Chains A and B, each alone.
Chain A
């Protein structure tokens, strides 16, 4: 639920967490994003940085410049301004991301987990399909790739996105691995809870896996154009659309990415209107599935 009043939770001497509610829902993240945007544009003295997450935002402040009480008062004022607005428009890039669904690399990581850690683990795509009442794994591909994803937060590791489907008809749910997996290929796409993430580098992980992208989201060599300014691709409030590719296309794109010749499709002319989004959601048949 969304709280009537946001909660201000201190995190030691330099952090304040503002919690807008206690569930995964886009409205809560919009509030966190809008607050972060307002704090950044107004520039509260003493605020070093603000990091929005799903239903909360974390503020890092300098207590020698602003007291915790004054900071809370300033933030309450900004939240009031933001929520009173008729509409909020957030600049939002759209990134087309090639993805091979039901790919061999996810399968390899799952095989390894079944062999070494948990022989009773149901394979991830079949597990998510069954849990969400889908006909088969092909429908999982249709549903998962049938929506734009909202980059609700970056965290855990530099540039790692936590994304939520914007189309409510494409909402899926999957618990995290318990215990976690020891290996995942970089670029693997997976789900935990209602969030979709991409693994920036090879490593351990806990999300259920079903796809992989050949395009990096983290590149210290900054080979492709969207990486010119920073080694990470994504920013909060970006949107991502997965485009299903074959193995041949995957290999071709991977090669071009390594050469630095892959032309990424990043659309920069749009703003995301909260009001228009709400109106559109209200017009949908939420029981429909792709």
Chain B
């Protein structure tokens, strides 16, 4: 059991791959933004890669362990301390009942992941323990964790002193500039050549008005092909309006002139075009970037994006573990 002393800025229970299979009823998957760091945290403590853990956003929580166990913190460097003593990131650590784990602000990156041996065992809702807090479902009471809550932990026998090899971890940038893969489509033919060139040549700034549903980007205006203007009236009056359709996760959704990357708690349908889609292999970069940082997008084929996702998955297992 984990007692929440301070909740942090927005700390939520997530599992991987999340609440899949309910898209047609309007449910997003939820789940961790950086699923590379998340899965490695679980491997470190001996859990299945998808077991529920905590996603800690920007400022981490303070938690008291109510029984002995093993934990690991990965992802953003939140300078974890156990009873005031620094403990290393990316390494499994033993903890005694009564000890307090404190995560501070994210010095590098944006989201840290805490896995505990046995996993968090809150109630499963529609196939997942993940929190979708805008919908008020999953997690504990449907929302980010709150002070005073006690998070249930399953039985698990983790080992301390296991470390994720440096070469197996995502490299979080320190110069605030990210290079992010995108695939063209589904609606790339609504944007003209100049629009595509501008999109790929711009450093897009991540707006502070971003959350687990959407990442708003600031940058130049878009230009369109004839298709965006010569269309039946039910599409809507703006060039980026289309007959309401389903949105893929990762879609770069053009709301008026503002592109919004649809992330894990995304609204899964609506009336805007999606000229590009950020594939799964680049999601960890979105998860580790902070407002004000910039993205430069580069096009990859669907096949290359799938191959890259397989490479990341191949790192999220025992082959990436060494003794500390």
Interface residue ranges, A against B (CB under 8 Å): 9-15, 17, 19, 22-24, 36, 48-58, 60, 63-64, 68, 153-160, 162, 173, 175-176, 178, 192-195, 220, 230-232, 235-236
Contact = CB atoms under 8 A, between A and B. Distances in A.
B245 interface: yes
Contacts of B152: none
Contacts of B27: 158
B26 A158 contact: yes
Contacts of B185: 9-11
A55 to B, nearest CB: 5
Contacts of B135: 157-158
Given A157-B267, A160-B26, A53 B302 contact: no
Given A24-B232, A48-B20, 19 more contacts: A10-B183, A10-B184, A10-B277, A11-B250, A17-B245, A22-B243, A51-B23, A52-B246, A55-B243, A56-B245, A153-B244, A153-B246, A154-B25, A155-B269, A157-B135, A157-B267, A173-B234, A176-B271, A193-B243
A48 B185 CA distance: 20
Interface string B210-229: 00000000000000000000
A207 to B, nearest CB: 11
Interface stretch (B58-66, B197-205, B303-311): B303-311
A48 B309 CA distance: 17
B183 A54 contact: no
Interface of B: 20-27, 126, 135-137, 142, 183-187, 231-237, 243-251, 267-271, 274, 277-281, 302-303, 305-306, 309-310
7 contacts: A11-B250, A14-B279, A158-B22, A159-B26, A160-B26, A178-B237, A192-B271
Nearest to A57: B246
A154 to B, nearest CB: 5
B267 A12 contact: no
A48 to B, nearest CB: 6
Contacts of B244: 53-54, 153, 155, 162, 193, 195
B245 A55 contact: yes
A55 B20 CA distance: 23
Contact of A235 (B20, B25, B186): B25
A218 to B, nearest CB: 9
Contacts of B305: 12-13
A11 B23 contact: no
Nearest to B186: A9
A102 to B, nearest CB: 25
Contact of B24 (A36, A56, A63, A173): A36
Contact of B236 (A50, A68, A175, A236): A175
A195 B111 CA distance: 39
B120 to A, nearest CB: 21
A12 B271 contact: no
A53 B269 contact: yes
Contact of B248 (A14, A55, A193): A14
A51 B24 contact: yes
B268 A51 contact: yes
Contacts of A10: 183-186, 277, 302
B68 to A, nearest CB: 35
B183 A220 contact: no
Contact of A49 (B24, B184, B278): B24
Return the 10 tightest CB-CB contacts between A and B, nearest first: A155-B269, A11-B248, A58-B246, A12-B277, A9-B186, A15-B248, A13-B279, A51-B24, A13-B305, A51-B23
B26 A156 contact: yes
A281 B244 CA distance: 24
B142 A220 contact: yes
Contacts of B136: 220
A23 B279 contact: no
A52 B246 CA distance: 7
Contacts of A175: 236-237
A153 B279 CA distance: 25
B186 to A, nearest CB: 3
A205 to B, nearest CB: 12
B278 A58 contact: no
Contact of A173 (B25, B233, B310): B233
B236 A12 contact: no
A64 B23 contact: no
B298 to A, nearest CB: 14
A15 B245 contact: no
A131 B56 CA distance: 50
Given A15-B277, A63-B306, A53 B232 contact: no
B243 A11 contact: no
A23 B243 contact: yes
Contact of A54 (B245, B278, B303): B245
A195 B244 CA distance: 9
B183 to A, nearest CB: 5
Contacts of B306: 13, 63
A55 B277 CA distance: 20
Contacts of B249: 12, 14-15
